[in-house]
Structure 1
């Protein structure tokens, strides 16, 4: 059913239907509520979790919440212990704009889907034909209509992973400004130095699981990673991760998950040379915790220009990603993440700014 519908849509573009007065009211409310929660990474991340708590069958809401936490940590890293020593102010500003734009774009695409599903439940009839008026891909109209009938959480979640990464492709990853100022410039850093390519899922008491993204610039790699992250989060650590998320308010600081290593207050002494903090992912005797500010203290809210118009969906064969390959995924990431922190420490100790 999904494949046949998408095959038709890839050949013929249906013009949007006229909106009734009551539908117009619904759309206005959705736009207003989405804008209200799309202020910054903290408000978006909270909105995802709140929605998941209300509708636990929408798995992407929790996956999106946990990945969005990582986005916030990446943003505050730019004002934290290491990167202020290693990257220029201008480059850190460019990197923040790149991260913030992607975070903002995904929310303004996905949250209206959630609200329209909520309204459909309220009215007891699917309203997904209104997606086109919110600039949501026709691909997702097909998927949500199928979910309405069959409640297949796996297909909906993977489809949303496909949709969000495809949505970002031209708007962020292939955006000439970001390619020049961020992706081309930071390719080495992204792959080999920074923690930007680690997606961490805290759970339990100080534990983390997750995966590392290689080749961020490839859409296929990002979709495959999304599938793996979903399996780790919902098959392996789900209940523990949900309990952790509920009991740890997202601030953007890495103190949220490792308060024994990170602090929102800069404990360093001005004028003193940099000292190593870590050994085997534990603080050295007498070492201060590493500075990881809250998002509120690191970055001001910024105004975004409207999202670029256009539907990414042109090839029905993206349905191949919906197949569950049932691959066994190893979510062990702590050792790898600790090595990244140690590399950053050594670079900071050397006081050798990374230049381009």
Structure 2
């Protein structure tokens, strides 16, 4: 927790709330599995917090991306140091967003129990003043969609400097040919599965742009909460334990699909993260009004079952060709 000089001037009961929130957030910020579960549990307890369900489903995809790195295919294409850097990139972003956002959710929980808004305490949890204003608006108006958008805007700005623009990640991950290749061909896709074996979602294209990531988040939310699909996604989330292997959803396909990605907790160690003060993104960079106002436009179909299977075959074919030309 940042040592805000005003912290010691807080009443004891408010200081205690902050300490409890930080402890619970740290406890559940262990790995991708614990984060995904915590988001979903919070949503089930507070269904008005629709961002928490979106975060849980997107976090599942973060886990899938991690486990892809040690599955049957990616090790044939990427050297161990590259796979390690990619894992740490996914993990760092996952950890930073949870540290910031789950603290906010817990403070909302305390506020509802006390029936008193406590959002003035967000500054002691390293949360942007942008969100302090937005939580107050939500408390007064109850506009779930506005808060959802605000949290999407905030989370993408939270990771922009420490991950996307960080010199090490920028040079060794985001400016690499491999990342550009994935980005261009839409191999990195956020998938919302169902227990019927169908897949919906959207592609991550232009990942280095904060505006494009925000737009993606809004598009994903519109898919997730579409009345035609939402019950199916919720059923999947509640009934399917998250292991971070893509087999979590491939098990529901109409045909038998061999598991070709591992379970996260059998594969990756727990990473010990350290928080580095970045300053308030809102004060440093401000925000664009279009982030709130821009219309959601799905340029591509959101039903991705056939597309996904085609892309998997393309990826496997590319890797096989690479092996053919690089084998002794």
Mark yes or no: TM-score above 0.5: yes
Q: How far apart are residue 308 of structure 1 and its match?
A: 3.0
Matches of 1:98 and 1:124, distance apart in 2: 39
Query: Secondary structure in 2 aligned to 1:205?
Result: coil
Q: How far apart are residue 352 of structure 1 and its match?
A: 2.8
Superposed CA offset, 1:161-206 (max 9, x none): 00000111101000000011111113333224573x2000012411
Matches of 1:353 and 1:121, distance apart in 2: 60
Q: Is the 8 A contact 2:162 2:278 kept in 1?
A: no
Q: How far apart are residue 321 of structure 1 and its match?
A: 2.0
Structure 2: gaps of 5 or more residues: none
Match of 2:302 in 1: 331
1:246 aligns with 2:238: yes
Q: Which has the larger radius of gyration?
A: 1
Q: How far apart are residue 35 of structure 1 and its match?
A: 0.5
Query: Secondary structure in 1 aligned to 2:278?
Result: coil
Q: 1:208 aligns with which of 199, 202, 223?
A: 199
Matches of 1:354 and 1:59, distance apart in 2: 48
CA RMSD of aligned residues (A): 2.2
Matches of 1:344 and 1:27, distance apart in 2: 46
Matches within 5 A, 1:1-356: 18-185=9-176, 186-192=178-184, 195=187, 197-235=188-226, 236-259=228-251, 289-314=258-283, 317-323=287-293, 325=295, 327=297, 330-352=301-323
Q: Is the 8 A contact 2:97 2:159 kept in 1?
A: yes
Q: How far apart are residue 324 of structure 1 and its match?
A: 6.5
Query: Secondary structure in 1 aligned to 2:323?
Result: coil
Q: How far apart are residue 333 of structure 1 and its match?
A: 2.0
Q: Is the 8 A contact 1:113 1:131 kept in 2?
A: yes
Matches of 2:201 and 2:107, distance apart in 1: 31
Q: Is the 8 A contact 2:29 2:98 kept in 1?
A: yes
Distance 1:326 1:228, change over 3 A: closer
Distance 1:241 1:307, change over 3 A: farther
Matches of 2:72 and 2:324, distance apart in 1: 14
Deviates more, 1:115-124 or 1:288-297: 288-297
Distance 1:345 1:163, change over 3 A: same
Q: How far apart are residue 84 of structure 1 and its match?
A: 1.0
Matches of 1:317 and 1:180, distance apart in 2: 26
Q: Is the 8 A contact 1:52 1:58 kept in 2?
A: yes
Structure 1: gaps of 5 or more residues: 1-14, 262-280
Q: How far apart are residue 72 of structure 1 and its match?
A: 0.1
Superposed CA offset, 1:57-114 (max 9, x none): 0010000000000000000000001101110011100110000000000000000000
Query: Secondary structure in 1 aligned to 2:23?
Result: helix
Superposed CA offset, 1:141-161 (max 9, x none): 000000001110000000000
